[in-house]
Amino acid sequence: MTTTKIPEVYTALANVLSNLSVEKNGVLPGNMGGKPYITAVDVAAEVKRLFVANNLIFLPDEKVVHQETRESNNRLQLIITITGSYTIVSTVDGSNVVISGTGDGLSTGTAVAANIASTNALKNALLRAFLITEQSVEDAGRNEAAPGQAPAQNAAQRKVETARAVAKPVDGELNALKAKVREAIEAGTKTREEVVALQNQLKESTKKTGLDLQRELVSALGL
C-alpha cells in the first residue's frame, strides 16, 4: 500500500498554529477603555519566531490596487489600498502555500500611506491564516458586534472611510467649479492660456490648493 507523504509546509504550519501565543503588549488609551490588546508588531514577531523554528520562509508580493487623493480640512490626503500575496515555503522540501490580505493606508504622503497599507495587508493575512481574533494596534477600541450584526470596522478602515465621506461634498463643489471654467473656455469667453496663467498666479500669491484655489480662480474670472 502506497502512502502519500504530507508536504512539510503543512506539518510546519500545524506546529506554528499549535504553538502560537501572542501576548497583549498594547494598552488602549483611557478614552477607549484602557484595556490591553495584541499589536500588529507582536503578531509578526511571534510568527517570525515560529517560522524560524519550523524551517519556514516568507515571501511577500504586494501591489497597489487602488489609489485616490482626497481633500479634508484644506489638506490633501492620499488613500492607498494594497493587496498582498504571501508565499510560505518549507526549506525542507520546497512545498508552499499562499495566504493573502488587503489593507488601506491614509496619510498626506505617498510613502507613509503605502507603508500603512502594506502593514495592514500583512496583518490581515496573518490574522486570518492563524485564526487570531484579538485586536491589533490598528483595531484597538473596536466594539464587539451584537448578535446578528456585522462586526464594527477597525480604526484604520474607519479613518479611511471618514476621509472619503468628508471629501464627497468637497469633490462635488470642486467638479462644479471646474465645469464653470471649462464652459467659459469652450464658449470662447476665456482662453485656456489665460486661465492657466491666472491659476498659477493665484496659487503663488495665495498659497491655496484644491477647492480653495478653484474658488479663487472662478471669482477672479468673474464666473
Express each pLDDT in 112-134 by its tens digit. Answer: 889 989 988 998 899 889 888 75
Residue 25 has pLDDT above 60, yes or no: yes
Residue whose C-alpha is closest to residue 138's, from 114, 151, 121, 163: 121
The sign of the torsion formed by the CA atoms of 137, 139, 141, 147 equals negative
Residue 49 CB neighbours (<10 A): 13
What is the dihedral sign for C-alpha 159, 164, 168, 173?
positive
The overall average pLDDT reported for the chain is: 78
Instruction: Say what the pLDDT of residue 89 is.
Output: 97
- Check pLDDT > 90 for residue 145: no
pLDDT interval class at 82 (50, 70, 90): very high
- C-alpha distances in angstroms, 12 versus 98, 156, 178? 14, 32, 58
Measured CA to CA, the distance from residue 78 to residue 152 in angstroms comes to: 23
Please report, in angstroms and rounded to a whole number, the separation of the first and last CA atoms in the chain: 86
Model confidence at 85: pLDDT above 90: yes
Separation of alpha carbons 107 and 30, rounded Å = 25
Continuous H helices in 82-146: 110-129
Question: Which range, 7-16, 22-31, 148-157, 210-219, is most confident?
Answer: 7-16
Mean per-residue pLDDT, 81-98: 95
Domain 8-142 in CATH 1.25.40? The answer is no
pLDDT at 156: 54
Residues of the chain with CATH 3.30.390: 8-142
Q: What is the pLDDT of residues 31-57, one digit of tens each?
A: 666 777 777 788 888 999 999 999 999
Give percent of the chain above pLDDT 90.
Answer: 27
What is the amino acid identity at position 73?
Answer: N
Three cell numbers at 135?
485586536
pLDDT of residue 172: 64
Band of the pLDDT at 192, cuts 50, 70, 90?
confident
**Nearest to residue 215, comparing CAs of 165, 166, 181?**
181
With a cut of 60, say whether residue 163 has pLDDT above it: no
Q: Name the residue with cell 462586526.
A: 151
Residue 24 has pLDDT above 80, yes or no: no
- Comparing 80 with 203, the larger pLDDT belongs to 80
Neighbouring CB atoms inside 10 A of 5's CB total 8
Helix (H, G, I), strand (E, B) or coil at 24: coil
What CA–CA distances, in Å, run from 71 to 34, 145, 165, 218?
A: 32, 31, 11, 19
CA distance 56 to 93: 10
Angle at 92 between CA 91 and CA 96, to 5 degrees: 60
